[in-house]
Amino acid sequence: MLPVTLVLFTALAYFLVLFSIASRGERRRQNTPKPWRYTLVLGVHCTTWAFYGTVTQAAHYGWGFAPTYAGAILVFLFAHGILMKTLSAVREHNLTSIADFIGSRYSKSNGISAAVAIIALIALVPYISLQLRAITASFSSVTGAASTNIPLFTDLSAGVALAMIGFSILFGARRLSLAEKHPGLMDAVAFESVVKLVAFVIVGLFCTYYLFDGLNDLLVQAAQNPVTQNILVAKPNGLYIYITHMLLGALSMLVLPRQFHVNFVESIHPDELRTARWGFPLYLVAINFFILPIALAGGLLVPEFRSQDTFMLALPIFAERPDIALIAFVGGLAAGTSMVRFSCCDHSRLRQCAETPFGKLGH
């Protein structure tokens, strides 16, 4: 287990780095296209569920985690024309949210726009709470301490929420013009996408090449173990489940408020989306590559933790590698806070969209 003070200090240092990156981005407000930053910001799609939950899901359903990401990849590869047309409509009409966009498709209906905004606001609350809960659970897993016992905070998730709200106000929601871009926020989220990808790859390499003698050795042992054999076996009704999950993954690229925001509202130039057509699928493949190996390693070494969302954190703790556990914690922190931060900005935009007649937000 890691000392509570070390984990808190690391989290605080991480937040300070984010504030520094965002502040620097705000001072250098350039409106030139940044395709690679835009591509990395799309990684906000990978939340704590992608970082922790998919490993637990893979431990129970094997490749069942893959269709969701396959649907997103297929949209960028083969429905690129739809994305470009949506981007063109958003830029032409200076739209600021998914509610604004849907309302514009129905004769600029105020009622439809407000209804979509209200639905999105209601849906965002439990989504944000899941991210905060995952951060708190990961803290408890790596320290062995309950969040309610943390000095200076009654609850870790409350502290993270306050920090993210403050961040969102400073770098996202403090301007009156909702159509204005937020380069500081984009820089910070792009950095977090790199952090969670690197952290996940490090944990994957650790499980595959430190705990085992490579991928072949891991697969051979998994095929011989009763617990992990079930992970490698195709499940009944697999095709139906795969198609359903692929559809959900594809739709998430268009209807999730935060994804709509980063896909279209924050885009500076169509060239960014053209680069993301192949860059974002590569990112998703990279961050998903080690999900199944980590799940198999966990099923072999710590099968008693398979039902926990922080399943992957049990492996470095089991191996007595606090450095890897801390890296995994920071990766999960990046996955959760990036989603919370953008959702706070979306919450502000959607609330104003619900309260303001259509056509007065940035027009």
Residue 261 lies in a domain: yes
Q: Is the CB of residue 324 less than 8 Å from the CB of residue 316? A: yes
Residue carrying structure tokens 């799309």: 42
Indicate whether 363 belongs to any domain: no
Give 86 or 108, the one with higher predicted confidence.
86
pLDDT digits (tens, 9 = 90+) for 185-242: 889 899 999 999 999 999 999 999 999 999 999 999 999 998 888 888 766 666 777 8
Does a structural domain hold residue 325?
yes
Does position 297 have pLDDT exceeding 90, yes or no? yes
- What does the pLDDT look like over 74-106, one tens digit per residue? 999 999 999 999 999 998 888 888 888 888 888
Q: Using CA atoms, how far apart are residues 164 and 135, in angstroms rounded to an integer?
A: 13
Average pLDDT in the 283-300 region? 93
The residue length of the chain stands at 363
Span 322-329, average pLDDT = 94
- State the Cα angle at 21 between 15 and 24, rounded to 5°: 140
Model pLDDT, residue 165: 66
| DSSP output for 6-21 | HHHHHHHHHHHHHHHH
Residue 19 placed within a domain: yes
Distances (CA, A) of 56 to 26, 33, 170, 303: 38, 38, 35, 11
- In this structure, are residues 208 and 290 in contact, taking their beta carbons and an 8 Å threshold? yes
What pLDDT band is residue 134 in, cutting at 50, 70 and 90? confident
Residue 20 has pLDDT above 80, yes or no: yes
| 50 has a pLDDT exceeding 90 | no
351 membership: H or E segment, kind and range: helix 322-355
- Rounded to an integer, what distance in angstroms lies between the CA atom of residue 230 and that of residue 58? 10
Residue 361 lies inside a defined structural domain of this protein: no
> Is residue 269 helix, strand or coil?
coil
CATH number for position 331: 1.20.1730.10
What is the residue range of 304's domain? 4-355
DSSP-derived secondary structure letter, 320: T
* Claim: this prediction has a pTM higher than 0.95: no
- State the total domains in the chain: 1
In a domain, 100, yes or no: yes
Higher per-residue pLDDT: 73 or 181: 73
Q: In the prediction, which pLDDT does 61 show?
A: 78
Is residue 333 situated within a structural domain?
Answer: yes
Residue 349: the pLDDT is 56
The per-residue pLDDT of the chain, averaged, comes to 83
